[in-house]
């Protein structure tokens, strides 16, 4: 079982998979998948826990356990759908919920660090199954940024005779570059910038909708070039990979500042513009850091963004020389991709296999990721 | 290797031990022990992280990693002293630093929970050794209070033909009751209330000293009965075991309130009175919850409090029918006891042995504690 809850805060993805082998001999089959949406109350609690201003040790302590129970419920739900008893699972790989990601602290009194919550002991107790979790910390201990981690599973599943860019668009956008006939050492990856995070926040504030379904709102609006240019001037985009980002740069504070200055624009135009911002920041990063060195035939989009048709059209128009497809076009699931990845990463941990990609995270070496919480009775 | 950093915040205890066997056949020998004191800066950061008011997600995220590095340094220090290469260790059992313990949340929007920090991936990476950590969460997932955990190792090491109360006096006081010829099921334990926490805080504020060395300050003061009576009226002492407490009840806020009202008393008298408060709250709990049912011949004191002679004298005078001794009197180390306990608990985890004591924590069943962070290269 793989569990993922991304920076988009829409809910918990749970993917029941059948895995055979490990490392480059890994074969994986998706059996069942559910997304358990967060209630507004929980989403608000997570947002508070992510915010320097509203977080407290008491909130984080309680929310860590509370999310553990919600993760366990997601496991039970997908098991019920697949008619499997949770305690018959071999293991659960749980990413947890990132509430802070600090790869480059500014002050001298801080150290590079990251924090995922969703207590694995609660998941293990409630499901009577061994849990592997906290995948990002060991990479960071090894000098990496703790992200992105999916490049490893991307390489295992998607290496090909064509050059591929695997673009995930969750809350944040990240790309894994798998050159033609790649060996493990050739793979690299980085966060391209915002994914759905800004689009979702604007839809919530201006339309009372959790996200822009199929990109319908954006399709009705006009891109406002001065706003787009201002968005694209963010210093993150000029930084060289490896690099990673999160809610710290493109979260609620970013959106508040944007609306304070540009809120006079028609609401549809705002959604269209931030949708183009996501598309352009992705393509811009390809032009800066990928295309000069690698021939890419195919861009494979996953994550919630794969269902935003306007976003996909914008990307395709900005990438005239590539085929822009979704995971579905290759027989996979856009939505389940990250949850499946953490089942595979957990399998690697239990096989004592290092699973970070140093070229993607900047780590000094390959290391075994995560920690193992045994089932309560072994 | 066992690592402990208690609520007293005086530093990291690291005990290098040799363990043979597991469960009731466990044999343990202390090889080397060091305490690495916290700098004032780190102590202040931990205090802020423990406080609802001053904590933030950013502080907690960074401090979790920072403490990981300090724990790793403590491992290296004790290894250097013992001339052992850290990567030759079999494993490290790390308790971490509790920054919040919430066994009984008040609001309906919170769940019972606890949070220990000191990132195990950092310890594992820096020492190239497997780390077992987060021992308290699984017991809490099983409906327990996540504390106390030491009763299990107390039972393994101190069961005897005499009835024994093993009283640890760290920041908090806790007792393990091992009746005559006890079986595992007979053992119970609870937190008696404050240990050195209030004494230390008053010494820091009024004398600029980290603690009352040998109880010298208390020895010069007079116990002020009205203040003592007020302290003893705290509702915690009437609660029936299982029960546990921490900095939430008897921390900085408690001391500020106490000094606001009673600060006019001579400083020595204040130290004498809170020292008697610790002694009396311990003995009072024995009279309420232990003596009515069990014959106790021997009280064995451990933790920093074992070095406070005034405190020991006060306890002895309040316990005329018991022998009050220290761990040293039995050939053990008062200071190293808890660090040793977490090495033993880690050994149990790695042997797939449940190690909570349901009668001590209130858990619904015996469960395997902790999670295992593999060494970075297996």
| Residue pLDDT, tens place only, B157-198 | 999 889 999 999 999 999 999 999 888 889 999 999 999 999
Distances (CA, A) of B130 to A124, A148, B59: 20, 24, 26
- Where b means 16+ CB within 10 Å and e means fewer, B89-117 reads bebbbbbbbbbbbbbeeeeeebbbbbbbb
DSSP letter at B356?
-
Does A249 map to a domain?
Answer: yes
Q: Are residues B246 and B278 in the same domain?
A: yes
Q: What is the distance between the alpha carbons of residues A94 and A82, in angstroms, rounded to a whole number? A: 19
Q: What is the distance between the alpha carbons of residues A253 and A373, in angstroms, rounded to a whole number? A: 36
Supply the pLDDT for residue B378: 83
Does B307 map to a domain?
Answer: no
Q: Tell whether residue B321 is among the known ligand binding residues.
A: no
Residues of chain A with Cβ-Cβ distance to B64 below 8 Å are 113, 115
Q: What is the pLDDT of residues A38-92, one digit of tens each?
A: 999 999 999 999 999 999 999 999 999 999 999 999 999 999 999 999 999 999 9
In the predicted model, is pLDDT for residue B78 greater than 90? yes
The helix-helix angle for B309-318 and B267-289 (nearest 10°) equals: 40
Q: Are residues A128 and A26 in the same domain?
A: yes
Residues of chain B with Cβ-Cβ distance to A60 below 8 Å are 55, 57, 60, 100, 115
Supply the pLDDT for residue A8: 79
Q: What band does B331 get if pLDDT is binned at 50, 70 and 90?
A: confident
Does A329 map to a domain?
Answer: no
Q: Are residues B275 and B351 in the same domain?
A: no
Q: What band does A219 get if pLDDT is binned at 50, 70 and 90?
A: very high
Task: Compare CB distances from A115 to B61, B99, B374 and report the shortest one's residue.
Answer: B61
Q: What is the distance between the alpha carbons of residues A176 and A184, in angstroms, rounded to a whole number? A: 12
> Poorest-confidence range of A132-136, A182-186, B370-374?
A182-186
B interface test, pick of A121, A126, A147 with most B CB neighbours within 10 Å? A121
Does B238 map to a domain?
Answer: yes
In the predicted model, is pLDDT for residue B347 greater than 90? yes
Q: Are residues A61 and A96 in the same domain?
A: yes
> Poorest-confidence range of A251-255, B67-71, B310-314, B343-347?
A251-255
Q: Are residues A143 and A30 in the same domain?
A: yes
Task: Compare CB distances from A57 to B41, B65, B99 and report the shortest one's residue.
Answer: B99
Residue B225 dihedral angles phi and psi, to the nearest 5°: -60, -45
Supply the pLDDT for residue B319: 97
Q: Are residues A148 and A172 in the same domain?
A: no
Q: Are residues A340 and A212 in the same domain?
A: no
Supply the pLDDT for residue B334: 84
SS (H, E, C) chain A: CEEEECCCCCEEEEEEEEEECCHHHCEEEEEEEEEEECCHHHHHHHHHHHCCCCCCHHHHHHHHHHHHHHHHHHHHHHHHHHCCCHHHCCCEEEEEEEEEEECCCCCCCCCCEEEEECCHHHHHHHHCCCEEECCHHHHHHCCCCCCCCHHHHHHHHHCCCCCEEEEEECCEEEEEEECCCCCHHHCEEEEEEECCHHHHHHHHHHHCCCCCHHHHHHHHCCCCHHHHHHHHCCHHHHCCCCCCCCHHHHCHHHHHHHHHHHCCCCHHHHHHHHHHHHHHHHHHHHHHHCCCCCCCCEEEEECHHHHCHHHHHHHHHHCCCCEEEEHHHHCCCCCCHHHHHHHHHHHHHHCCCCCCCHHHHCCCCCCCCCEEECCCCC
Residue at token pair 């007792």: B175
Q: What band does A275 get if pLDDT is binned at 50, 70 and 90?
A: very high
Q: What is the CA radius of gyration of chain B?
A: 20
A242 versus A225: the higher-pLDDT residue is A225
Q: What is the CA radius of gyration of chain A?
A: 20
Does B214 map to a domain?
Answer: yes
What ipTM does this complex have? 0.87
CA A217 to chain centre: 23
Contact flag B372-A367 (C-beta cutoff 8 Å): no
Residues spanned by the domain of B93: 2-153+335-373
Q: Are residues B118 and B136 in the same domain?
A: yes
In the predicted model, is pLDDT for residue A128 greater than 80? yes
Supply the pLDDT for residue B49: 97
Q: What band does A245 get if pLDDT is binned at 50, 70 and 90?
A: confident
Domain boundary among A268, A296, A324: A296
Q: What is the distance between the alpha carbons of residues B197 and B278, in angstroms, rounded to a whole number? A: 9
In the predicted model, is pLDDT for residue A161 greater than 90? no
Q: Are residues A190 and A288 in the same domain?
A: yes
Does A321 map to a domain?
Answer: no
Q: Are residues A23 and A124 in the same domain?
A: yes
Distances (CA, A) of A366 to A281, A284, B112, B131: 29, 29, 37, 18
Mean pLDDT for A105-117 is 93
Domain boundary among A296, A323, A345: A296
Q: Quote the tokens at residue A302.
A: 């996953």
Supply the pLDDT for residue A163: 95
DSSP-assigned beta bridge partners for residue B133: B94, B371
Looking at CA atoms only, how far is residue B171 from chain A in angstroms?
A: 19
Does B8 map to a domain?
Answer: yes
Q: What band does B312 get if pLDDT is binned at 50, 70 and 90?
A: very high
In the predicted model, is pLDDT for residue A108 greater than 90? no
Does B304 map to a domain?
Answer: no
Domain boundary among B273, B296, B319: B296
Supply the pLDDT for residue A248: 79
Q: How many domains does chain A have?
A: 2
Task: Compare CB distances from B110 to A62, A111, A354 and report the shortest one's residue.
Answer: A62
Mean pLDDT for B122-134 is 98
Indicate if the alpha-carbon torsion angle A295, A300, A305, A309 is positive or negative. Answer: positive
Region of residue B308 (phi > 0: left; psi between -120 and 50: alpha; otherwise: beta): beta
In the predicted model, is pLDDT for residue A172 greater than 80? yes
Q: Are B296 and B164 in contact (CB under 8 A)?
A: yes
Report chain B's mean pLDDT, rounded to a whole number: 95
Q: Are residues A7 and A120 in the same domain?
A: yes
Looking at CA atoms only, how far is residue B347 from chain A in angstroms?
A: 14
Four-CA torsion A78, A82, A88, A89, nearest 10 degrees: -50
Q: What is the distance between the alpha carbons of residues A118 and A96, in angstroms, rounded to a whole number? A: 5
CATH classification at residue A45: 3.30.420.40
Q: Are residues B184 and B116 in the same domain?
A: no
Upper half-sphere CA count for residue A4 (Cβ side, 13 Å) = 27
């Amino acid at each position: 079982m793989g569990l993922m809850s991304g920076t988009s805060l829409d809910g918990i993805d749970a993917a029941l998979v059948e895995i055979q082998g490990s490392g480059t001999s890994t074969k994986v089959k998706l059996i069942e998948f559910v997304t358990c949406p967060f209630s507004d109350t929980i989403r608000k609690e997570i947002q508070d826990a992510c915010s320097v201003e509203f977080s407290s040790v008491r909130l984080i302590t309680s929310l860590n356990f509370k999310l553990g129970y919600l993760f366990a419920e997601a496991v039970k739900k997908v098991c019920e759908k697949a008619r499997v008893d949770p305690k018959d699972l071999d293991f659960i790989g749980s990413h947890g919920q990132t509430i802070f990601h600090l790869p480059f602290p500014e002050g001298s009194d801080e150290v590079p660090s990251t924090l995922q919550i969703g207590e694995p002991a609660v998941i293990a107790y409630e499901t009577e199954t061994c849990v592997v979790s906290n995948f990002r910390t060991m990479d960071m201990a090894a000098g990496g940024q703790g992200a992105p981690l999916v490049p490893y599973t991307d390489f295992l599943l998607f290496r090909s005779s064509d050059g591929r860019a695997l673009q995930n668009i969750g809350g944040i956008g990240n790309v894994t570059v798998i050159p033609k006939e790649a060996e493990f050492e050739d793979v690299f990856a980085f966060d391209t910038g915002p994914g759905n995070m800004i689009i979702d926040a604007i839809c919530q504030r201006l339309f009372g909708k959790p996200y822009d379904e199929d990109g319908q709102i954006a399709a009705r609006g006009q891109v406002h070039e001065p706003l787009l240019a201002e968005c694209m001037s963010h210093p993150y985009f000029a930084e060289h990979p490896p690099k990673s980002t999160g809610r710290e740069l493109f979260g609620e504070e970013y959106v508040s500042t944007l609306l304070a200055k540009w809120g006079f624009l028609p609401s549809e135009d705002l959604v269209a513009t931030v949708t183009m911002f996501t598309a352009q920041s992705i393509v811009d990063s390809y032009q800066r850091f990928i295309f000069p060195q690698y021939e890419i035939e195919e861009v494979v989009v996953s994550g919630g963004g794969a269902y935003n048709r306007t976003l996909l059209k914008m990307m395709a128009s900005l990438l005239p020389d590539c085929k822009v497809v979704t995971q579905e076009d290759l027989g996979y699931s856009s939505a389940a991709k990250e949850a499946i990845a953490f089942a595979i990463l957990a399998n690697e941990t239990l096989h004592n296999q290092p699973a970070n990609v140093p070229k993607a995270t900047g780590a000094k070496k390959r290391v075994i990721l995560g920690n193992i919480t045994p089932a309560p009775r072994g």
